[in-house]
Amino acid sequence: MIIGTPREIKNHEYRVGLTPESVVELVAHGHHVLVETGAGAGIDADDDTYVTAGAEVVETAAEVFARADMVVKVKEPQAAERAMLRPGQILYTYLHLAPDPEQTRDLVKSGAICIAYETVTDAHGGLPLLKPMSQVAGRMSVQAGATTLEKAHGGRGVLLGGVPGVAPAKVCVIGGGVVGFNAAQMAVGLGADVTILDRSPEVLERLGIHFEARAKTRFSNTANLAACVAEADLVIGAVLVAGAAAPKLVTRDMLSTMKRGAVIVDVAIDQGGCFETSHATTHADPTFVVDGIVHYCVANMPGAVARTSTYALNNVTLPHALRIADLGWDAALAADPHLAAGLNVQSGRVVHPAVASALGYENLPKKDADAA
């Protein structure tokens, strides 16, 4: 199979779909790898490194898309990239389709086979291809929140950990999954006063055992959520419904109860965000203010730590990429129902139920390759 990796073109996105080490593995399996020139610059992997690994470096993304049987990326394809997809071509990347009707429409029109990292599952009900970026984003959310709380960045001028004689910042983490757990770990480590909300008694018990007295846990209902948000200096939205749009848990009315200059970091923004007032921002212009509350809603937070993120991502995406390349997409998905859960769009059809429900498409079953 010919596998191609273009340079990412989303604003301040420095990650790359394949590391040189992943190229070595794919070539060892007998596949041919195309890499757009400069694609690895953000992780300090130059073209010569990719050539040494066995890749063919090409000049343009257009050549990658024209020649590749499978395109491996990091972020969802931008409009110019979607226009280059063709029927039967495999796209393997993060998609986050539920809040993005325009992208979904283009992918359906393309006829491509679109496998989304974020909906691939595992035997334990987890999302293993989303987990490493959730770990990165959770940890980064506290870094970003701490910086945004500084007065020069529009915040309240509060130090997250406080100092002797001055109370630390109050941090409210909404959601106790992978993002929330990692956010809480960082906030606790910096000495903040941390409260984590979740609706699962099992999750709350696990968090309580792990953090003991270093963080508080509360059941996430309307009253507790409103109280936690009102007293927080930093609120981190860490809610995920696999494949579906994130629920809007914090309303605009709640902002009026918050402290002026408090900060919201919406990690769920890839799936539409869990704050009513959120909209996606970029690393170039990461924040905006609504009713005196600073919102940080960067949709590709892990792109800022591209080297860490790329290697963490390739650790979990490469085994599936090898399986797809070795067997073909249809046989690979037939052999692995967890990988099959990653199929979002196939040959002009939306085949993931959460995406179909969110965007009003008929939920159609997957077709066999020979019927596609």
User: Which parts of 239-278 fold into alpha helices (H)?
Assistant: 252-255
Q: Which of 96, 295, 320, 352 is catalytic?
A: 96
Task: Judge whether 239 is annotated as a binding position.
Answer: yes
Task: Judge whether 110 is annotated as a binding position.
Answer: no
* Residue 60 · residue 68 · CB < 8 Å: no
Active site (annotated) includes residue 336: no
Task: Judge whether 134 is annotated as a binding position.
Answer: yes
Nearest to 295 by CA among 322, 323, 267: 267
* Residue 128 · residue 120 · CB < 8 Å: yes
Task: Judge whether 244 is annotated as a binding position.
Answer: no
Active site (annotated) includes residue 29: no
Q: Can you point out the beta strands (E) in 255-365?
A: 263-266, 287-290, 293-296, 343-346, 349-350
Q: 82 is written with which tokens?
A: 């979607």
Task: Judge whether 220 is annotated as a binding position.
Answer: yes
Tokens 């991502």: give the residue: 313
Burial class of 86 by CB neighbour count within 10 A (0 to 12, 13 to 18, 19+): exposed
Task: Judge whether 221 is annotated as a binding position.
Answer: no
Task: Judge whether 267 is annotated as a binding position.
Answer: yes
Task: Judge whether 200 is annotated as a binding position.
Answer: no
Nearest to 111 by CA among 363, 354, 352, 350: 350
Task: Judge whether 61 is annotated as a binding position.
Answer: no
Residue 217 identity: T
* Residue 116 · residue 342 · CB < 8 Å: yes
Task: Judge whether 240 is annotated as a binding position.
Answer: yes
Task: Judge whether 299 is annotated as a binding position.
Answer: yes
Task: State the DSSP string of 44-94.
Answer: T--HHHHHHHTPEEES-HHHHHHH-SEEE-SSPPPHHHHTT--TT-EEEE-
Distances in Å between the alpha carbon of 18 and those of 21, 181, 326? 8, 28, 17
Task: Judge whether 15 is annotated as a binding position.
Answer: yes
Q: Which of 106, 266, 270, 330 is catalytic?
A: 270
Q: 363 is written with which tokens?
A: 């939920």
Task: Judge whether 301 is annotated as a binding position.
Answer: yes
Catalytic site positions: 96, 270
- Binding-site residues for NAD(+), please? 134, 198, 220, 239-240, 267-270, 298-301
Residues at the annotated binding site?
15, 75, 134, 198, 220, 239-240, 267-270, 298-301
Q: Which residues are annotated as a binding site for substrate?
A: 15, 75
